[in-house]
Structure 1
Amino acid sequence: MDHKQLKYFLALADTLHFSRASERCYISPPTLSRQIKQLEEEVGAPLFIRDNRSVALTPQGQAFIQYAQATLASWRQFKSECLDEDKPLSGELSLFCSVTASYSFIYDLFARYRQDFPQVELNLLTGDPANSIAQVQGEVVDVAVAVRPRNLPQGLEYLSIGRSRLLFIAPTMKCPLSDLLAQHRGELPWHQVPFIVPEHGVLKERLDVFFKKKALQPKIYAHVSGHEAMVALTSLGFGVAYVPEVVLEQSPFRNQVQTLGLQSEEIEIGLVCKRKRLQDPVVSALFRVAARLFAA
């Protein structure tokens, strides 16, 4: 088996979806299916159970995850030890972030990194920022942009690259929700307010604290994956949301929402990777570039 097949396997094991995994790996779904089938033939056991509607890991597939991760980690370590210091840095680096982060933080970082190390291949994956740390822990990517949690898991390295206020937002369009808010300029009737909340992650934890302080059993309109989608649903009048200011600034719907005059708190945003991955010159170089760029 080759290392690309192991990467394809881990992508499919993470997404459990052939189309999403093939997009992540920059190959077609039929090619991914053939590669997985070849891998299963070499392993001698099925790694996935698949039908027309779903994909699931077999017990052998679940066990194979650790082997694939360890093999790729050992290969990356070996390659880094073989690098000739007199030659330009080369290799691959994958990074996971939200769509907003790709505009607000990562564009400048990648531009500077590419200028300094043009022979390194950069791969960018976007998705729900609540999944950032899990993507790193599962070794789906080398580095991720993540909101710093209250307790950073052991074995991870974190480099702050910015901060953002958290804001309660509401629609500006005329709708039952905006009418309700207009009638209560003081303390809002929170028990009547529908909320659009993230499925999980730091922002959900912050909201849970807010609800607890208010002794509120919230009226939830929707659980949403991704901060950008929360702004969109809010602009349509479906509920109030709690989002980072940096997301609101980049949103095409920023003029269709209003901020509520409530005391706000901040989140810290940074790069996260497994500490052992800093032994890879490609990864450590990214952290050095980021430290210089965002300290300025």
Structure 2
Amino acid sequence: MDIRQLQYLAALAREKHFTRAAQACHVTQPTLSGRIRQLEQELGVPIVERGQRFIGLTPEGERVLKWAHLILDNWQSLQQELGAIRSKKGELVGRLVLGVIPSALPMVSLLTSAMERQHPRVEFTVLSQSSEEILRNLHDHAIEAGITYLDNEPVEGLKQHPLYVERYCLFVGDNSPYADKPSVTWAEAALEPLCLLTPNMQNRRIVDRAFAAANVHPSPRLETNSIMNLLASVRSMGLSSIMPEYFINVLGRLEGMKAVPLEEPRVEHKVGLVGLPREPLSPLIAALFAVAREVRS
């Protein structure tokens, strides 16, 4: 058994397609299939349910995949540490894959830019994911860290550090009767033609609970998993939306719209960085958490 076999298995589980997995690994499809068959022979268990196309992994394959993710994660951490030792300046080198809830995406640059200043040879892949996907992908070692809610749904057992407190505003067009008000209630917001994130997003579940606390249950005109689509819908469709207060500053001047603070109830939730609690900690993850402690707002 070698690292390549485990990388091929992880790619197949991720892509759910032999050809795409082979392309992701920069090998031919017969090479990838042959190495996975070799792994099955070496371990003495069937790993892949085979047919004319990829069907899935066997129960034994699922167990092998969990160990593969763990081994690959430790191998990557070892490479990072050795890379820093080999570097004349002790520089960290590598790529961090972050899963980020959609409402936090505009804030990620505060963390990545601070990391870039201190560790310029570290690269990032930032993926928009639901809080549930972040937790699952962390445990599956598909991402190195996540930015998600810390106090709304359970993240017990994870290494975590708060970054900011999320508060909410009603985003409306300039011509809305609420545009110049100092605040608006959730009950008033429920009467607006709303566009909201989809129900699988934790931000949406927070919004729904706030409406329920105000004893109202609006039906949104539009649902999307894209924050940019929410902003575009407010600007071009005349809809209203509920988004984090910090969008006002992070996204710059929002032409054609206003953000009005929501009250009754006042809703606040902590958003922070999460990762697996492991020893030794990956050098890149250790550096990321160190930077997070400096940029917390």
Answer yes or no: same fold by TM over 0.5. yes
Task: Tell me if structure 1 keeps the 8 A contact 2:172–2:234.
Answer: yes
> How far 1:2 sits from its partner (Å)?
4.5
1:271 paired residue number: 273
Task: Tell me if structure 2 keeps the 8 A contact 1:158–1:270.
Answer: yes
2:232 paired residue number: 232
1:9-57 Cα distance to aligned partner (Å, 9 max, x none): 43553465789x87xxxx95583773643443323456377989xx653
- 1:249-268 to 2 correspondence within 5 Å? 249-251=249-251, 254-263=254-263, 264-268=266-270
1:122-142 Cα distance to aligned partner (Å, 9 max, x none): 332221353433332321121
Q: 1:262 to 1:279 in 2, by over 3 A?
A: closer
2:116 paired residue number: 111
Q: What amino acid is aligned across from residue 122 of structure 1 in structure 2?
A: E
> How far 1:219 sits from its partner (Å)?
1.0
2:43 paired residue number: none
Q: What amino acid is aligned across from residue 272 of structure 1 in structure 2?
A: V
Q: Identity rate of aligned residues, in percent?
A: 13
Task: Tell me if structure 2 keeps the 8 A contact 1:192–1:219.
Answer: no
SS of the residue 1:95 aligns to: strand
| Alignment counterpart, residue 164 of structure 2, candidates 151, 162, 165 | 162
> How far 1:204 sits from its partner (Å)?
1.8
C-alpha distance in 1 between matches for 2:123 and 2:291: 14
Q: 1:253 to 1:49 in 2, by over 3 A?
A: farther
| Alignment counterpart, residue 136 of structure 1, candidates 123, 135, 138 | 138
C-alpha distance in 1 between matches for 2:86 and 2:14: 37
Aligned residues: 277
SS of the residue 1:255 aligns to: coil
> How far 1:158 sits from its partner (Å)?
0.8
- What is the RMSD computed on CA atoms of the aligned residues? 4.2
1:43 paired residue number: 39
C-alpha distance in 2 between matches for 1:36 and 1:226: 35
Task: Tell me if structure 2 keeps the 8 A contact 1:221–1:238.
Answer: no
C-alpha distance in 2 between matches for 1:162 and 1:180: 27
C-alpha distance in 1 between matches for 2:124 and 2:178: 46
Q: What stretches of structure 2 of length at least 5 have no aligned partner?
A: 41-45
Q: 1:90 to 1:11 in 2, by over 3 A?
A: same
Q: 1:230 to 1:148 in 2, by over 3 A?
A: farther
1:64-106 Cα distance to aligned partner (Å, 9 max, x none): 4312122224435666887897962545342313542343x23
1:147 paired residue number: 149
Q: 1:11 to 1:213 in 2, by over 3 A?
A: farther
Q: 1:191 to 1:33 in 2, by over 3 A?
A: farther
C-alpha distance in 2 between matches for 1:221 and 1:16: 34
In the superposition, the TM-score normalised over structure 2's length comes to 0.71
In the superposition, the TM-score normalised over structure 1's length comes to 0.71
> How far 1:275 sits from its partner (Å)?
0.9
C-alpha distance in 2 between matches for 1:253 and 1:29: 40
C-alpha distance in 2 between matches for 1:84 and 1:290: 20
Task: Tell me if structure 2 keeps the 8 A contact 1:46–1:58.
Answer: yes
C-alpha distance in 1 between matches for 2:47 and 2:158: 33
1:110-158 Cα distance to aligned partner (Å, 9 max, x none): 223315xx4xx43322213534333323211212222323244232011
1:208-233 Cα distance to aligned partner (Å, 9 max, x none): 21221233332133332233332223
Q: 1:285 to 1:197 in 2, by over 3 A?
A: closer
Higher helix share: 1
1:122 paired residue number: 123
> How far 1:207 sits from its partner (Å)?
1.1
* 1:95 paired to 2:97: yes
Q: 1:294 to 1:78 in 2, by over 3 A?
A: closer
Q: 1:287 to 1:50 in 2, by over 3 A?
A: farther
Q: What amino acid is aligned across from residue 33 of structure 2 in structure 1?
A: K
SS of the residue 1:123 aligns to: strand
SS of the residue 2:246 aligns to: helix
